[in-house]
Structure 1
Amino acid sequence: MPAVARLALLIGVSLFAPISLAKGLVTETGVLQGAPWRIDVPERWNGELVMLAHGFEPVGAPRESAWPANEATPALLGAGYAVAQSGYRTQGWAVAEGVADTERLRRHFVSLHPGTRRTWILGFSMGGAIAIASLEQQPDHYAGGVSLCGANLPGEALAGELLTTLVAFDYFFPDAPGLPADGLASPAAADLPQMALHQGIAAALQTRPEVAQRLARRLEVMPGELAGVISLHALVFHDMAKRSGGMPVGNRDTVYRGFGDDDAFNAGVRRHAPDAAAHDRFTAAPALTGMLRQPLVIQFNQRDPTITPRMQAIYPRLAAQAGATPPPTVLPAVGEGHCGFSDEQTIAALKAAAEAPGAGTP
């Protein structure tokens, strides 16, 4: 198995696996402006379409020649929905590309099936941000949407959370063997193979287990998940930096809380200034605003190490500040881990969007 795939499995990034689909359906695959896509229409189609947005795919992860079906696809088809899903033209933190490529595929589907009654958008993890951005930017195209285990944060807010993780590790575990002296947010860390980065982090955490437990509490994860979470945060942060051409956010003025002796932490933590041009490029991409005009259902898993409670609270607060109409519906957490939803739970979340006040008919 390639190193990037091993790392993805280790840190909980979902890679695509072969699944069985029902007989009697019509499947098409292709490429639109560099983005692979897949469309599945069940034999007994209810006339409604689900645009399915997948999560973060590490850069370099191998892709199949034809875009594979997400594991939620059979349940959606069994419930009567057609499913269209784009692989996006780029890997990594591809929210902007995901929004554009998903919209391009939606138009393609409607051109093939002009009698489509209603269209929904459903996203997992990073795909949750794509789903919400699509609802905000293209409300007339959707009857509503669902974000499951979603990274429902504006890009700048998420990058700030990731940077916090990296500088906190550097503070508590300076000079860790095998890791760059300039810290996990440095270009040297970005150049380190991801598996080596993970191994160096895991080894350092084992040297001071009581400190690792303190860091895990602050980051809202279990100690056994900490190395994988830090590795994932480094992977995504460096992808953002590469896309932006430099440090996309900084922490020069950040006042940190919850790390034990906060005065000592704030005095000693490594500070980074954002690269001005990189920051401008990073923030120029459309960000989540909270301005909703179609129903949105949000649901998370219990004890999700990837999207922690602190992150989960951001978008509902943003929507309240923006006066979203209707406000998002946040369902009680179910399951365990990251994106650990059963087929029944996925369908139930979609039905909740359909039953929400203001559900449209695009």
Structure 2
Amino acid sequence: MRLRALTIAAAVTLTGLLASPPAQATADRHLEGQLPSGAAYLMDVPEQWNGTVLLYSHGYRPVGSPKTGEDAPSSDAREKLLAEGYALIGSSYASNGWAVTDAVPDQLATLDLFTERFGAARRTLAWGTSYGGFVTTMLAERHADRFDGSLSMCGLVQGGVANWNSTLDPVFALKTLLGSDVPLTGFADQGAAQQAAGALTAKVDEAQTTARGRARIALAAALHGIPGHNDPSQTEPAPGDRDGQQANQYAAVRGLLQFPAFSWRQEAESRAGGNPSWNTGVDYTAMLHRSPLFKEVDELYRKAGLSLGADLGALNRAPRVSADPRALAWMRETSTFTGRLTDPQLDIHTTGDALIPVPSEAAYHRAADRAGSGRLLAQAYVDGPGHCTFSSGEMLVALHALEHRLDSGRWDASPAGLNSRAREADPTGDARYVRYVPASYPRPYDRS
């Protein structure tokens, strides 16, 4: 469907728009503008609006990235949804980084603006990818009165505290076992964080040249739940090909060091007012033995002639990192989930995700069960490597499965059904849903 553009200047504020009469939804509209916070919003409303509005939350953007609005996860998904009659809206966030305290009000303001311009929707759904899946779940838990349901795709649904704890574990193992003295928290600024990242990356690169070093990198990868095939550009290792699995994990570990573990952590700590993570009291022997990657690590250690027990003992004896109480309190207040859902939520996740490993879904499932919301939560898994590497069809059928739950009161999210409908929605795309049970999250969901 070709949209006839109605562009609102970026300088127009929410107040100015509220003073305008509501638009009639009789012609395709494309609206862009700026909220009072400085966030940019985007709206696409088809001529034949079906009464459902989809509020899309975008993924993590590092500080310094452009702040542009997004209202769909891809251009292909946007075109297909507009053709089906959905109104699509979304905003950037007033700041980039760990911006949940900006993202949530900006998204709600965008929804308010849509209602003023086009009237109340018959149904309002929140959806988002990656960090946007985190924002979506925050909207679903804390602003349930505004939404009928939610879809989190490859979302950071373990929440902030669990995420930063899990990110700490692999770098703690690398620092300890590779003999580095880099700080892992408490960076003065981005320069200090990047310097630490560079120093530890150099140690990892050196370690990768020896069998002993490769075994230790595999151990660190296992503590974060990094799978052995985690990027579509990688060759998928044969079953039992431990060297191939480790080579793929090494690439992901380098990515973890370059961005989340240091640079992104420093930005989050600057918001929290200190370090919100800890590994005091963590038993790394028990954590590894619970991991589905234990066998790989054990075999690589044996091949290298290295004692896994001795290295785990060294980890358990090493000086630990304690959380700053005020920073931990801030992270819990702003970024932790209770699992208490009022409306249905569907989560989808790729099985080969290294950035937000799939056990994050087990963490949220456990939280929802404990909160008595298990019947409202469904989770489905796409068998593929990479972070958020869904086809348009795989995303759209998840959205329609959520709608089916709202219409019928029951979930219909079986792999066979989702794949059949995905092929109909996107005949040239992938349809890879599988029956899958993620491993338990490596750390307790949120317990100090």
For the pair 1:226 / 2:275, whether they are aligned, the reply is no
**What is the 5 A alignment of 1:339-350?**
339-350=388-399
Deviates more, 1:31-40 or 1:326-335: 326-335
Question: Which among 276, 293, 296 is matched to residue 345 of structure 2?
Answer: 296
Q: Which residue pairs with 1:185 in the alignment?
A: 185
Q: Which residue pairs with 2:272 in the alignment?
A: 244
Deviates more, 1:140-149 or 1:200-209: 200-209
**What is the 5 A alignment of 1:309-328?**
309-324=358-373, 326-328=375-377
Q: Which residue pairs with 1:336 in the alignment?
A: 385
Q: Percent identity?
A: 27
- For 1:343 and 1:70, the matched residues in 2 are separated by 9
Residue 117 of structure 1: how far off its partner (Å): 1.2
For 1:273, what is the secondary structure of its paired residue? Answer: coil
Question: Which among 99, 105, 114 is matched to residue 109 of structure 1?
Answer: 114
Residue 105 of structure 1: how far off its partner (Å): 1.0
Residue 201 of structure 1: how far off its partner (Å): 4.0
Residues 329 and 161 (structure 1), Cα distance of their counterparts in 2 relative to 1, 3 Å cut: same
CA distances 1:110-141 after superposition (whole Å, capped 9, x unpaired): 12121421111111001111111111112222
Q: Which residue pairs with 1:307 in the alignment?
A: 356
CA distances 1:190-214 after superposition (whole Å, capped 9, x unpaired): 43374x6655444322222222233
Question: Which among 128, 132, 135 is matched to residue 133 of structure 2?
Answer: 128
Q: Give the TM-score normalised by the residue count of structure 2.
A: 0.68
Structure 1: unaligned runs, 5 residues or longer? 1-20, 176-180
For 2:353, what is the secondary structure of its paired residue? Answer: coil
CA contact (8 A) 1:167 1:183 kept: no
CA contact (8 A) 1:294 1:326 kept: no
CA contact (8 A) 1:144 1:359 kept: no
Q: Give the TM-score normalised by the residue count of structure 1.
A: 0.83
Q: Compare relative contact order (CA 8 Å, sep 6+) and give the higher one, 1 or 2.
A: 1
For 1:206, what is the secondary structure of its paired residue? Answer: helix
Residues 103 and 96 (structure 1), Cα distance of their counterparts in 2 relative to 1, 3 Å cut: same
Q: Which residue pairs with 1:138 in the alignment?
A: 143
Q: Which residue pairs with 2:202 in the alignment?
A: 203
Structure 2: unaligned runs, 5 residues or longer? 5-27, 209-213, 227-248, 289-296, 298-307, 410-448
Residues 241 and 137 (structure 1), Cα distance of their counterparts in 2 relative to 1, 3 Å cut: same
Residues 189 and 282 (structure 1), Cα distance of their counterparts in 2 relative to 1, 3 Å cut: same
Residue 55 of structure 1: how far off its partner (Å): 0.7
Q: Which residue pairs with 2:83 in the alignment?
A: 78
Residues 325 and 315 (structure 1), Cα distance of their counterparts in 2 relative to 1, 3 Å cut: closer
For the pair 1:57 / 2:61, whether they are aligned, the reply is yes
Residue 273 of structure 1: how far off its partner (Å): 2.1
CA contact (8 A) 1:162 1:234 kept: no
Q: Which residue pairs with 2:237 in the alignment?
A: none
For the pair 1:37 / 2:50, whether they are aligned, the reply is no
- For 1:189 and 1:171, the matched residues in 2 are separated by 23
CA contact (8 A) 2:350 2:386 kept: yes
CA radius of gyration, larger in: 2
CA contact (8 A) 2:149 2:406 kept: no
CA contact (8 A) 1:320 1:327 kept: no
CA contact (8 A) 1:49 1:84 kept: yes
CA contact (8 A) 2:193 2:262 kept: no
- For 2:347 and 2:111, the matched residues in 1 are separated by 22
- For 1:282 and 1:190, the matched residues in 2 are separated by 20
CA distances 1:120-174 after superposition (whole Å, capped 9, x unpaired): 1111001111111111112222121100000002221112112223312211223
Deviates more, 1:183-192 or 1:164-173: 183-192
Number of matched pairs = 332
